[in-house]
């Protein structure tokens, strides 16, 4: 993946890229459903209390957005096709995306499964300028993974992020240093990091509605309005962002959670859900070749209060059986619950790479038998579809709710 040495590169100062996949979860689902390309597609569970994980651009035209309640999304776009999420697919494609980034530069800061900052200063002599490298990334992702990406290039992370957002979908935008401030000053103040709906309301009362309005406001006035963040947003309004690309550290937790259609108060239902979430979490651990040294559970009650409890394991594991045992012991230790449960979650903490055999060695033969069975389940489900085989306790249950 080389383009030969280059000299006198145009826009060479724009050495920070922000690369963001376009409607990532939808795009991955459409790899298996090409018949739905160009139609309104919503990824998420159709159950009443679930939320939208992702929406195609066709669905977004109806006002559907990520994190919106599914019931609201279906009212806005009743013709939308709802697809259940498949997190193991997203993890696999995400790994492919990050691997492509790694062929461009070792300086990659992964922000989520589908976006990252790249520092390409050391790659431009080998691969060309920001435009050539941006197009190389987009072309490679499209060819090797079948999805599209948008790329922004600038001298700072903040402006690169704005550039990728403004180039969506499937585009590339470079904002040179001399155009940075003029470009920023054409944008609404909401484009600035840290300026949410409430901050917009406060600023609007003083007539500050654009980035230029904010840039021309004295810092002292902004500090009175916004506190310590006044200096931060003022710097951004002038294109100042000193942060560098920080190479991403290993993922710290892997987990899954479920919001029930109706509040749950009985232990058998909670145990069944915890078993399914433990299998989802363990499968993701094995797919990432990781094991966990701790387990946590999360309960959200009917009044929306949330409780978490954690437990350190005697030895690292990637077995659903071990994770489930730890999760149910944490639940039992809580004693009588004050009210019914709205949401339950299971999380694997203290992650570390698996050993050569893919798991921690153990002298307990039962642990090894469980793990061998779960590894066989992984293989069957990869070949014949998700949940082709599952524990008998989970028969008749939904198989893959949103996180």
Higher model confidence: residue 221 or residue 198? 221
Q: How confident is the model over 134-148, as a mean pLDDT?
A: 97
pLDDT in tens, 162-211: 999 999 999 999 999 999 999 999 999 999 877 877 888 889 988 999 99
Question: Considering the chain, what is the average pLDDT of its residues?
Answer: 84
Q: How confident is the model over 59-64, as a mean pLDDT?
A: 96
Q: What is the pLDDT of residue 304?
A: 78
CATH topology (fold) of 185-237: DNA polymerase; domain 1 (1.10.150)
Q: What is the pLDDT of residue 83?
A: 95
pLDDT > 90: percent of the chain:
55
Distance between start and end Cα atoms, the chain:
36
Q: What is the pLDDT of residue 371?
A: 57
Flag the least confident range among 44-58, 288-302, 369-383. 369-383
Q: What is the pLDDT of residue 314?
A: 80
Q: At 351, is the pLDDT very low, low, confident or very high (cuts 50, 70, 90)?
A: confident
Q: What is the pLDDT of residue 370?
A: 53
The residues annotated with a catalytic role in the active site are: 115
Q: What is the pLDDT of residue 375?
A: 56
pTM: 0.64
Residue with tokens 């724009």: 14
Torsion of CA 210, 155, 112, 92, to 10 degrees: 140
Q: What is the pLDDT of residue 3?
A: 37
pLDDT in tens, 6-41: 434 557 789 999 999 999 999 999 999 999 999 999
Q: Does domain 254-394 have CATH number 3.30.1490.100?
A: yes
- Residues 6 or more apart whose CB falls under 8 angstroms from that of 256 comprise 87, 277, 280, 281, 284, 345, 346, 347, 403
Torsion sign, CA atoms 192, 197, 201, 207: positive
Specify binding-site residues for Mg(2+): 20, 114
Specify binding-site residues: 20, 114
Full strand arrangement of the beta sheet holding 108-112:
108-112, 115-119, 16-21, 149-154, 172-174
CATH of 9-177 among 3.30.70.270, 3.40.50.10800, 3.40.1030.10, 3.90.950.20: 3.30.70.270
* Domain segments of the chain as ranges: 9-177, 185-237, 254-394
């Amino acid at each position: 993946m080389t383009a030969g040495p280059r000299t006198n590169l145009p826009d060479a100062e724009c050495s920070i890229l922000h690369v963001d996949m376009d409607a990532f979860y939808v795009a991955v689902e459409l790899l298996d459903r090409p018949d739905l390309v160009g139609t309104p597609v919503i990824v998420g569970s159709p159950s009443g209390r679930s939320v939208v994980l992702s929406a195609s651009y066709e669905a977004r035209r109806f006002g559907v957005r990520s994190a919106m309640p599914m019931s609201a999304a279906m009212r806005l776009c009743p013709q939308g096709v709802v697809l259940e999420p498949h997190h193991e697919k997203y993890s696999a494609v995400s790994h492919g995306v990050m691997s492509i980034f790694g062929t461009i530069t070792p300086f990659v800061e992964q922000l989520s499964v589908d976006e990252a900052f790249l520092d390409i200063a050391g790659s431009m002599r080998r691969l060309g300028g920001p435009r050539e490298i941006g197009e190389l990334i987009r072309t490679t992702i499209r060819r090797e993974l079948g999805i599209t990406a948008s790329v922004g290039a600038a001298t700072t992370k903040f402006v690169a992020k704005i550039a990728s957002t403004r180039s969506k979908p499937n585009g590339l935008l470079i904002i040179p240093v001399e155009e940075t401030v003029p470009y920023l000053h054409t944008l609404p103040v909401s484009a600035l990091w840290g300026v949410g709906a409430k901050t917009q309301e406060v600023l609007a009362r003083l007539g500050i509605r654009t980035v230029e309005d904010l840039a021309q406001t004295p810092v002292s006035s902004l500090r009175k309005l916004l506190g310590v963040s006044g200096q931060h947003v003022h710097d951004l309004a002038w294109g100042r962002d000193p942060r560098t690309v920080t190479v991403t550290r290993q993922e710290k937790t892997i987990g899954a959670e479920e919001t029930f259609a109706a509040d749950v108060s009985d232990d058998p239902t909670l145990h069944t859900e915890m078993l399914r979430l433990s299998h989802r979490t363990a499968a993701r651990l094995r797919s990432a070749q990781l094991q966990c040294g701790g387990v946590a559970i999360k309960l959200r009650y009917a009044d929306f209060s949330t409780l978490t409890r954690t437990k350190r394991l005697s030895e690292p594991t990637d077995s659903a059986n071990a994770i489930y045992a730890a999760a149910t012991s944490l639940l039992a230790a809580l004693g009588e619950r004050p009210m019914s449960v709205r949401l339950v979650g299971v999380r694997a903490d203290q992650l570390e790479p698996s050993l050569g055999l893919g798991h921690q060695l153990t002298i307990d033969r039962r642990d090894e038998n469980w793990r061998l069975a779960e590894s066989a389940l992984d293989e069957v489900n990869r070949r014949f579809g998700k949940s082709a085989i599952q524990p008998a306790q989970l028969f008749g249950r939904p198989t893959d709710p949103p996180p």
